[in-house]
Amino acid sequence: MTLSRFPLCTLPPEAEALREPVRAFLRQELGGRPHTKAGKSWMGYDAEFSRKLGAKGWIGVTWPKRHGGGEMSALSRYVIVEELLAAGAPVIAHWIADRQSGPLILRYGTEAQKEFFLPAICRGEMAFCIGMSESDSGSDLASIRTRARRAGGAWRINGAKIWTSNAHRCDYMITLVRTSDSPEKHQGLSQFLIDLKAPGITVRPIRDLTGDNSFNEVVFQDVLVSDDSLVGQEGNGWAQVVAELALERSGPERFLSCHALVKELIDRLGPKPDARSAIVVGGIVSKLAVYRQMSLSIAARLNKGENPATEAAYVKDLGTTLEQDIPEMVHGLMESTPSLDGEDYEQLLAYITQFAPSFSLRGGTREILRGIIARGLGVR
């Protein structure tokens, strides 16, 4: 009670009212899809699906109506998001923009930026990626070297970003660059909105170990961007990025990445499992229910305008640890042979087994999160 705050929260009726319509839409759009596809969860790409979701008014729901949003609360958004993820919907074509790029533009952007980007995001027609890591700057994000220098009324960008999820299919990147040299590495950083079709940009796909192309290297060679592309204040990039990460770390995507496998496990065990199997399933369920309460508590605090960045680290660490344990528990419980060309379940297990290491890397590694928690405790 004294060390962290996760006040209980539940969903107001107007948020809860969205659940059935969203479920009905998902049944109609995704019914009969193979489990392997649901297993990709929020890395699944389907531009058509995102456009249909946009047409329903379910992207950018918290944003002002004049920018295409629905002026609903963050708790209404929470219902939509958790239903999409529990169903394993392919969301990556709009997900990043809805979760963090849009909110960043809304908070720090100019009126012109809001008018240009937000309505297109809400329609599900504009995909974003996040340019943070570089080859020599992973966890030590503030050490980035990609540089923007003033060139007349514009900026000239040189450098390279790496591990950029989905960049090969995105329209824009919000990228963190160094705009001035400072002895303090957290200063002199700024964020830019960059059109990925601009001259001088090369997107090089990087194959991940599953064989997919989930992330990329993005190289900037004398890329010219106008002053209008700066998001927020020049030099305020670090504070903006930290606020953005609170949005990225506490959502239901941090404990539902393996949901397709959990459902399949339950179906394979059948209605009368042996004691050992029931214990494993119950152990997963108790954590899912509790971590959801913690995540919801953060959503309520974000909704009130607070910035529970430390609590978000708790949820991500707990949630991703569970997600990584799930395929291991499945292997420990039943005869399973993951295979790439076998039946649907074997492919699902193969995919999640391979993809699981990324759960505690993307969005801040486990060690970094625990460092944030330790700082909150007062030992750092």
Partner 1 sequence: MRALFEDSINRILADHVTAALLQKAEAGEWQETLFNLLDDGGFARASATEISGGVGAPWPDLFPVVFACGRHALPLPLPESLAACWLLEHAGIPVPKGRLTLGRASAGTRLEKRAGEWRLHGSLDAVPWGGAADFVVTSVAHDGGPHLVLAKRSQAVVHRNQNIAREARDGLEMSGATVQAAVPYFKDATNDPVQNFGALVRSAQIAGAMDRMAELCVQYANDRVQFGKPIGKFQAIQQQLAVLASESASVSTAAEYAFAMAGQEQPGFAIACAKARASEAAGKAAAIAHAVHGAIGFTYEHSLHYLTRRLWSWRSEFGTHAFWSEQLGRQVCERGGEGLWPLIIEQQGRWEEGGWRG
Residue ranges that bind partner 1, judged by CB under 8 A: 1-4, 6-13, 16, 19, 86, 259, 262-267, 269-273, 275, 277-283, 285-294, 296-297, 311, 314, 317-318, 367, 369-371, 373-374, 376-380
Residue placing its CB nearer to partner 1 in the complex, 175 or 320: 320
CA distance 191 to 132: 10
In order of 78, 315, 347, 363, 380, the CA distances from 248 in angstroms are 13, 11, 28, 7, 23
234 within 8 A of 328, measured Cβ to Cβ: no
Taking the complex as a whole, how short is the minimal distance between the CB of residue 263 and partner 1, in angstroms? 3
Tokens of 342: 């076998």
End-to-end CA distance of the chain: 21
- Clarify whether 367 is annotated catalytic: no
Coil, strand, or helix at residue 78?
A: helix
Taking the complex as a whole, how short is the minimal distance between the CB of residue 290 and partner 1, in angstroms? 4
Residue placing its CB nearer to partner 1 in the complex, 13 or 183: 13
Sequence-distant (6+) residues with CB within 8 A of 252 are 78, 81, 82, 85, 86, 292, 295
CA distance 231 to 123: 22
Taking the complex as a whole, how short is the minimal distance between the CB of residue 85 and partner 1, in angstroms? 9
Residue placing its CB nearer to partner 1 in the complex, 31 or 199: 31
Sequence-distant (6+) residues with CB within 8 A of 246 are 302, 307, 308, 309, 312
Which residue in the list 83, 134, 244, 248 is annotated as catalytic? 248
Q: How far, rounded to the nearest angstrom, does the alpha carbon of residue 14 sit from its chain's CA centroid?
A: 25
Taking the complex as a whole, how short is the minimal distance between the CB of residue 128 and partner 1, in angstroms? 28
Taking the complex as a whole, how short is the minimal distance between the CB of residue 10 and partner 1, in angstroms? 4
Residue placing its CB nearer to partner 1 in the complex, 86 or 170: 86
Which residues are the active-site residues? Answer: 248
